[in-house]
Chains A and B, each alone.
Chain A
């Protein structure tokens, strides 16, 4: 049966379960005797087993089944959760995550068997002398799902049993599956079912028969197809081929007991009937288990690659609280009311009511905008929840004791930001764990608690969301950083020594800059912090660092709440209109021309005794019809702040402040210099948004 439509749900739900498995395992590690957590883990494993089974992901099902055995033993105190067991359970979790990711990208579970994990699970049970329930199940070879394969040779074999119809046509795939079944010494039956000619609900009857069959066997083929049978596109009979451990009689009995079935013919299929010689099977049998597995995996690789091509990709989704949708619904109905009102008022030429309605409309659109934005909001939990596990693994690898303390996980951010913020945070957290937190001995010497702490906090601050990462480690060594700057030949020693602490820290965000003495698997390669900064700035955010030697380091990331709509200042340059993001503007001034000076061949303006570099927007934006200086009484400049530095942008005149919707310029215009995007003005024309970040000096 076609399961594609359920794939999305499967992936979504599995991820949720895996996430809760993740956090439960972390809790279990802290307190191995907690029965509540164990029960929770067992429940999740069980649910996953059921779900993967329903979807036909047999490998995943098998793994969860083995997990269940171990978890059951843990639950019943026949085993105790030592670090070895928890480690293996974490490995299981990773394997399951891989399965789900493969399902997400290809629509199939892939071919990885994770034999060593399954073996180590079995080992645990064996060592403690608990009989593994799964052992039998594992002996049964996983059912290979038949995948497309139309070109394969069609084999027809003559009729065998007198009572049954001819054998149905098999393709190479079916034959391969049956071959495997023969090797596993399972029975293959062709079952022909006939219904009473007066049967009204034949597809319903067929459904019951299928249920009986599915309970006792694996259906590998059906003629006509299951879809056709579901759609009642068959006469009063159909034929299926099943693989089973049960015998013929059971099927005859069970199917006959379904109402309106008038005939059941079960024909055993033998290798000979398919033209498979016994030798052929023998040869395969002789192969050792291990070899067979690796071969199967290899063969599977090609198949996986093929599957990748057809790639069923699930879309990006946001889970939305139903209340939020109700708000949207209400607002839309209000819009309709306003529209009707406007129509009436226009007919009645009632202009005072008309302007009232417009005001009402404005209120509703503002609310609507708010509501839509809220729909796009996702709690930061979605990114944060993978970090405890990550820190645990890093701490293990480095042999440090580190605890991650998170707060404000329900702070919400736009979905697009959420998707992008993960990597930069990982970089920072790794840095904290690797460079920040000292090794145990060093901490003991410094009289610090042996357990290092990393705090991850999120909170909303006005129109921004702030994410702080703080550690109680050794802090950034400013002196060492200064030395590195000189060593790397970035600045001369005199300049470096005159740099403020803050300026020195800025070098950490330069590409290829690293202060690590040794390169570890985690960090020290000098790639990272520059990427962090670029990424956060691309999201319209900022990063700051506060550090105190011996006490710790704090990274403060500020992100805009939403990206799509911003406050902007509209300006005119010549006949063209441009928008400048208001968030970066510090002030607007009219400068007298005598305060425009040349310093080192660059134009600057002097404002309250500050010297600010001047950028003439009409020149960088290549505006042909800008008003020349001679025709102006003074120079209107917009002072833009980038970091602590100011830049003055000259404009012809100001139009005003406006809330604008940012639109992308599309693939053709992407990456145009000095332009961050476009917006549509009230008159329907397009105005470009000046990228003040790249223009500021």
Chain B
């Protein structure tokens, strides 16, 4: 933290874990983080859409990032969280194993990733941030949400 020049140049990211990997999302896109709650399944939707939840009277769709990224299924436990992400007036909940903290780093410190591998997660990666020898994969929320809204409109 000492080498950081000033806070204003850094962007803040909410860091969470899925299958021992650390991911980050832009804090401005996070509207709230909820404990795991009852999800109502919605028929004829892709498998990574777990269903909908009631977030204080609003119906919010929830996506399982493990399924989306092709990682093995895991039952919800006390650490499981649903992060409510908001972009373009669309709210989407994503299920993650646990939420750790908020970190900040400058955009220059983020390394872009090449898409030479077949790793499906990489489609949604903005870059990899390095903080104290940790690698944090920053996710592209815009893409995640836009893709879903466009999918439905395409049908």
Partners in one complex: yes
A interface residues, Cβ below 8 angstroms from B: 576, 620-623, 663-675, 678, 680, 684-688
Q: Can you spell out 30 A-B residue pairs with CB atoms less than 8 angstroms apart?
A: A620-B43, A622-B43, A663-B57, A663-B59, A666-B58, A666-B60, A666-B61, A668-B49, A668-B61, A668-B149, A669-B42, A669-B52, A670-B153, A671-B152, A671-B153, A671-B155, A672-B43, A672-B45, A675-B42, A675-B43, A678-B40, A678-B52, A678-B59, A684-B54, A686-B38, A686-B51, A686-B54, A686-B59, A688-B40, A688-B52
Is B128 an interface position by the 8 A CB rule? no
- Smallest CB–CB gap between A565 and chain B, Å? 14
Is B122 an interface position by the 8 A CB rule? no
- Measured in the bound complex, the distance between the Cα atoms of B54 and A328 in whole Å is 26
* B52 CB contacts on chain A under 8 angstroms: 665, 669, 678, 686, 688
CB atoms of B59 and A668 under 8 A apart? no
* B41 CB contacts on chain A under 8 angstroms: 576
B interface residues, Cβ below 8 angstroms from A: 38, 40-45, 49, 51-54, 57-61, 89-92, 145, 148-149, 152-153, 155
- Measured in the bound complex, the distance between the Cα atoms of B47 and A622 in whole Å is 12
CB atoms of A667 and B40 under 8 A apart? no
* A671 CB contacts on chain B under 8 angstroms: 152-153, 155
- Smallest CB–CB gap between B65 and chain A, Å? 15
- Smallest CB–CB gap between A411 and chain B, Å? 31
- Smallest CB–CB gap between B95 and chain A, Å? 15
CB atoms of B54 and A680 under 8 A apart? yes
* B54 CB contacts on chain A under 8 angstroms: 680, 684-686
Q: In the complex, given contacts A665-B59, A671-B152, A680-B59, what are 5 additional A-B residue pairs having Cβ atoms less than 8 angstroms apart?
A: A623-B43, A663-B57, A667-B149, A668-B61, A678-B52
* A686 CB contacts on chain B under 8 angstroms: 38, 40, 51-54, 59
- Closest Cβ neighbor of A577 among chain B residues: B40
CB atoms of A687 and B44 under 8 A apart? no
- Measured in the bound complex, the distance between the Cα atoms of B67 and A564 in whole Å is 34
Question: Out of B44, B60, B145, which one reaches A672, CB within 8 Å?
Answer: B44
Of A620, A621, A668, A686, the most chain B CB neighbours within 10 A belong to A668
* B148 CB contacts on chain A under 8 angstroms: 668
CB atoms of A685 and B42 under 8 A apart? no
Given contacts A666-B61, A670-B152, are A688 and B42 in contact (CB under 8 A)? yes
Given contacts A678-B52, A684-B54, are A668 and B40 in contact (CB under 8 A)? no
* A667 CB contacts on chain B under 8 angstroms: 89-90, 149, 152
- Smallest CB–CB gap between B46 and chain A, Å? 11
- Measured in the bound complex, the distance between the Cα atoms of B147 and A667 in whole Å is 11
- Measured in the bound complex, the distance between the Cα atoms of B41 and A542 in whole Å is 31
The 6 nearest A-B residue pairs measured at CB: A686-B40, A621-B43, A668-B148, A668-B61, A622-B43, A673-B44
CB atoms of B152 and A669 under 8 A apart? yes
- Measured in the bound complex, the distance between the Cα atoms of B54 and A688 in whole Å is 12
